[in-house]
Amino acid sequence: MGAAVLLPIFLIRSYRHPHPLLDLNLFRSRGFSVGNIAQGLFVGTFFGWLVLMPSFFEKTWGWSALAAGFGLAPAPAISGVFSPFAGRIADRIGHRGLVVVGTTIGGLGALWWALAIGPEPDYLHDVLPGSILLGFGGAAGFATLTGAIMTGIPPRFYSMAGAARSTCFQLASAIGIALGIALVGTPAAGEVAPYARTWWMGAIGAFACALVSLALPAHRTSPVVAVALAD
């Protein structure tokens, strides 16, 4: 409630102040504005299911907390290993294509879970294929979206733009987690359907991110923002 009241005040203040904490001219950059929208969709829905996945392993499949942690590990591990390679590819071909492909792959991973996972434990068939897809999707999506957002920002505005991007990231993750918890509710032991709703949310959000990312600049961001911020 407080955020809903204070956010408009902050934006009005930023618009009117000669030296604002957040220069709204940043959003005149197509890469910055579209990238933050895409990031919000991907991050929000990603964290919406990620935080609740250990609960599924423990409450539905009856795993221990340690086993649930290991069960969740492949996707982050793959993402961490392959993210540097995604950055090198983005430097060559631009961010847009890689973000679209990566977030689509991530959406397919969440979709696999929504369609395949059942009440009986079958990790190798039900969970691992989706985890692999989500790992590669995260590798191509998260870091590349950050690059797309920051490309074309004048160097002296890096700190401001980076802080704004990080704030949007954190806000999207908080909203996604809250939405995921609301979708799951208080499931009974052995129930899959409440968790499947979060996997559907992840798939829809990732595919929506891919569609929005088509509006990203193909290579370099338009210099409009640099001119506007220099005035």
Token readout for 220 is: 């370099």
pLDDT at 229 over 70: no
- The helix-helix angle for 95-116 and 74-93 (nearest 10°) equals 150
pLDDT of residue 227: 45
**Nearest in space to 212 (alpha carbons), one of 107, 100, 134, 112:** 100
pLDDT at 90 over 90: no
Rounded Cα–Cα distance for residues 94 and 115 (Å): 33
Alpha helices in the chain (DSSP H): 2-16, 30-50, 53-59, 65-72, 74-93, 95-116, 128-150, 158-184, 193-213, 224-230
pLDDT of residue 140: 87
Rounded Cα–Cα distance for residues 102 and 86 (Å): 9
Residues 6+ apart with CB under 8 A from 120: none
- The helix-helix angle for 30-50 and 193-213 (nearest 10°) equals 170
203-213 confidence digits (pLDDT tens): 999 999 999 99
Token readout for 81 is: 């290993």
pLDDT of residue 218: 76
Token readout for 64 is: 């221990």
Q: Which residue has the tokens 């649930």?
A: 68
Q: In CATH terms, is domain 35-226 a member of 1.20.1250.20?
A: yes
Q: Across the chain, what does the average pLDDT equal?
A: 88
Least confident range of 107-111, 126-130, 153-157, 196-200: 153-157
Instruction: Please report, as a single letter, which amino acid is at residue 81.
Output: V
**Nearest in space to 139 (alpha carbons), one of 200, 88, 198, 209:** 88
Could you tell me if 14 and 22 are in contact, meaning their C-beta atoms sit under 8 angstroms apart?
yes
Report pTM. 0.87
